[in-house]
Amino acid sequence: MAAVPGRGESAAERIPLGAELRRAALPVPAALAPLLPDGGLVKGSVVAYTGASSLLAGLLAAVTEGGGHAAVVGMPRFGLLAAVEMGAVLRRLAVVADPGPDPVEVAAVLLDGLDLVVLGLDGAAVPPARTRVIAARARNKGATLVVADGRWPGASLQLDARIAGYAGLGRGRGRLRSLDLAVEVRGKAGPPRRGRLELCPNAGRVEWVLREKSARTAETIDAREAVS
């Protein structure tokens, strides 16, 4: 952890064209950006994440590849190799596999000097009084906290990514060629956004591709599917 430098500036430079009216945001995989209200992870915000860890690897890759610095806390089985294959720069990524009895406090300390902190709660629920304190700290430091596998009341964004399919494994054997995720994004305002992302190999690395996008509400989509 001591070898990881402080927060960089280049991570904020990769804001999509036309984003000058949006809040400052950290970069994300290009395929995910259209599904996010601000085109990226808003600096100083807290994101509640559920689902496949492969998209978390993509978030870490986008930030560190863009010159930012990040940490993973409390996720001992996190796939660093997958993050590297997506472009993550390991010298800008700290891993705290065993943060001890209070992983939330460890993550809070790391917010002081990093752009992105991914915190695994292992199913725990954090009281609202504490989430408000941590959220205020993230906001004051301009750092983004992504909380996975737990309950975090008051998150500004909820991101869910579920495995919807894969290709390359025939009868349980073979090499995985692609992975599909059904992604849903819910903010505090506006309708939920849904999309279908596919993870595919490209020129020696793996990248996310946006296959389908819908900004309609989940209720509208469910109603359409029920009729069909």
| Cα 180 to Cα 19, 165, 212, distances in angstroms | 28, 5, 11
* Pairing relationship of beta strands 41-42 and 70-73 according to DSSP bridges: unpaired
Question: Look-up: residue for tokens 């989509």?
Answer: 221
pLDDT (tens, 9 = 90+) of the chain, 228 residues, equals 545 555 554 444 443 444 344 689 999 999 999 999 999 999 999 999 999 999 999 999 999 999 999 999 999 999 999 999 999 999 999 999 999 999 999 999 999 999 999 999 999 999 999 999 999 999 999 999 999 999 999 999 999 999 988 765 444 444 446 789 999 999 988 899 999 999 988 888 889 999 877 644 444 444 444 443
Q: Does domain 10-227 have CATH number 3.40.50.300?
A: yes
- 198 near 213, Cβ under 8 Å? no
d(CA 64, CA 70): 7
- Kindly report the length of the chain: 228
d(CA 59, CA 88): 9
- 47 near 158, Cβ under 8 Å? yes
Helix (H, G, I), strand (E, B) or coil at 223: helix
Nearest to 45 by CA among 156, 132, 123: 156
Question: Look-up: residue for tokens 């001890």?
Answer: 100
Q: Could you read off the pLDDT of 79-91 as tens digits, one per residue?
A: 999 999 999 999 9
Domain ranges of the chain: 10-227
**pTM of this prediction?**
0.82
Nearest to 114 by CA among 70, 58, 66: 70
Max CA separation in the chain (angstroms): 57
* Whole-angstrom Cα Rg for the chain: 17
